[in-house]
Amino acid sequence: MPRIRPAKALAATAAIALATAACTGTPDAPKASDDATKDTTIIFWYGWSAPSEVAAIEADVKAFEAAHPNIHVKAVGNINDDKIKQALRAGGPNAPDVVSSFSSANVGAFCKSNVLTDLKPFLDKSGIDLDKTFPKAIQDYTQYQGKRCTLPLLADTYGLHYNKDAFRAAGITAPPKTFSEFEAVAKKLTKPTADGYTQLGFMPNFHGYTSTLLLYGYQFGLKYFDDQGKANASRDPRFTQLFTTQKKLVDELGGYAKLEKYRTTFGDQYGAKNPLHTGQVAMSFDGEWRAGMAKEAGIKFDLGVAPMPVPDDQADTYGRGGLSGTIVGIASTSQKQNAAWELVKFITTDTDAVVNFANAIHNVPSTLDALKSPKFATDPAMSVFLDVAQNKDSISPPATPNGDAYLLTLQDVGYRYESGTIKDLPAALKKADEQIDKDIAQTR
């Protein structure tokens, strides 16, 4: 799980994707001619840095080396995307053979610029059937325009975390399934004071950690681009439905200014003082890792988890969500691509390897077999996320050659609309579409 806040994550991946997609002179991918049965050493870069995460990676690598005693792996952690981008462009003997990135938003840029090699020949050679191996949404976010230059290395999805004690005190017997139910529950759980709250049902503002456009968008089933690849926000009525639903909730829970003032009292998103942990909010959208963090923080209430709500006119999609996650690929400059493939294949498709890693870092397994494995340490909270990951209506954000830039543009509309700065939402969405199309055209 990337330990960065959503707004910062969007900005970082957009900038990196723009730089990667814009690079020229990338060398042609060398043919995979190395003998993977000979003694060799490959370099693997990854982003995890916490001691428990590093230990989990090292255990995965150790298991791989036991199964492939001739292939030695030099694993290097705490590598950010900017350094990966530079190394992929430069190549050389010290460059990585295998890289992983926390951001699936980078896939479009990585694939388009050919800095990661096409994995289809390797998949075909190994007889791996994607449809029998990975959920569809996970397949979607690891390819760009039919080119698969990455595979998934665990997944993230999101759900509604809620304070069961607060629910019982308010006489609420079940988590809300639709946004009209969610609005009613959020209002019932809110205890305002003159200048704040003793308890807020939900922080709806787009700056409220994971109450982002992206997460709301998963539930509304937004179609960001039409079939011709043109930005679609001004023509898909679900965008207007999302923004007006969110704005109504902001207004009914006290208004933008009051909510923003209250938000400044929140502790760190990934720390013990997260507002859900402290009881400042009674409900939160968050990832599969939240239950474990809440337990570590020593919360004094009973925490519940359920799928996030859906629009009332899409009630039959309840249980859906969004998926993204860590991606892994082979550097196109690597002279050891066959050996590198053996590592990529092992960590992404070996059921025990995927399950053990998911258990260690509390993420969602990324293969169908691992999702069903009896070795996966499920609990009632995690089972919700496993169901979301396999739900037929779950989606992933579309890949573009400039990463999450389109989300930044649309989220800016959200910031200004919820605050009351934007009065004409249709005009703002049309202008956003024009900007998104212009930004993508500049990367071609």
244-282 as b/e, with b when 16 or more CB fall inside 10 Å?
ebbbebbeebbebebbbebbeebeebeeeebbbbebbbb
Fold match, 6-156+323-390 / 158-317: yes
Q: What is the pLDDT of residues 59-104, one digit of tens each?
A: 999 999 999 999 999 999 999 888 888 888 887 778 899 999 988 8
Domain ranges of the chain: 6-156+323-390, 158-317
pLDDT of residue 20: 46
| Number of alpha carbons in the 13 Å side-chain half-sphere of residue 396 | 26
Q: Of how many residues is the chain composed?
A: 444
Q: What is the pLDDT of residues 17-27, one digit of tens each?
A: 444 444 433 44
CATH class of the region 158-317: alpha beta
Q: What percent of the chain has pLDDT over 90?
A: 76
383 close to 371: Cβ distance less than 8 angstroms: no
Average pLDDT over residues 38-44: 97
Q: Looking at the domain 6-156+323-390, which fold is it?
A: D-Maltodextrin-Binding Protein; domain 2 (3.40.190)
Q: What is the rounded end-to-end Cα distance, in angstroms, of the chain?
A: 31
Neighbour count for residue 90 (Cβ, 10 Å): 10
117 close to 329: Cβ distance less than 8 angstroms: yes
Res. 10: pLDDT tops 80: no
pLDDT top residue among 46 and 94:
46
Question: Could you give the CA distance from residue 245 to residue 268 in angstroms, rounded to a whole number?
Answer: 27
pLDDT of residue 25: 38
Q: Which two tokens stand for residue 282?
A: 């009674």
Instruction: Name the DSSP class of 5.
Output: -
**Contacts by 293-301 with C-beta closer than 8 Å and gap 24+?**
294/161, 296/272, 297/271, 297/272, 297/273, 298/272, 301/163, 301/164, 301/165, 301/166
Torsion from C-alpha of 368, 371, 375, 376, nearest 10 degrees: 150
pLDDT of residue 31: 62
Q: What is the pLDDT of residues 255-271, one digit of tens each?
A: 999 999 999 999 999 89
pLDDT top residue among 24 and 136:
136
Average pLDDT over residues 215-233: 96
Residue 39: strand, helix, or coil: coil
Torsion from C-alpha of 242, 193, 162, 53, nearest 10 degrees: 90
Query: 43 has which bridge partners?
Result: 74
Instruction: Name the DSSP class of 284.
Output: E
Q: What is the pLDDT of residues 314-339, one digit of tens each?
A: 999 999 999 889 999 999 999 999 99
Question: Could you give the CA distance from residue 222 to residue 113 in angstroms, rounded to a whole number?
Answer: 27
pLDDT of residue 443: 82
Q: What is the pLDDT of residues 338-379, one digit of tens each?
A: 999 999 999 999 999 999 999 998 889 999 999 999 999 777
Q: Give 179's pLDDT tier (boundaries 50, 70, 90).
A: very high
Mean pLDDT (the chain) is: 91
Q: Give 11's pLDDT tier (boundaries 50, 70, 90).
A: very low
Q: Give 444's pLDDT tier (boundaries 50, 70, 90).
A: low
Q: What is the pLDDT of residues 183-201, one digit of tens each?
A: 999 999 999 999 999 999 9
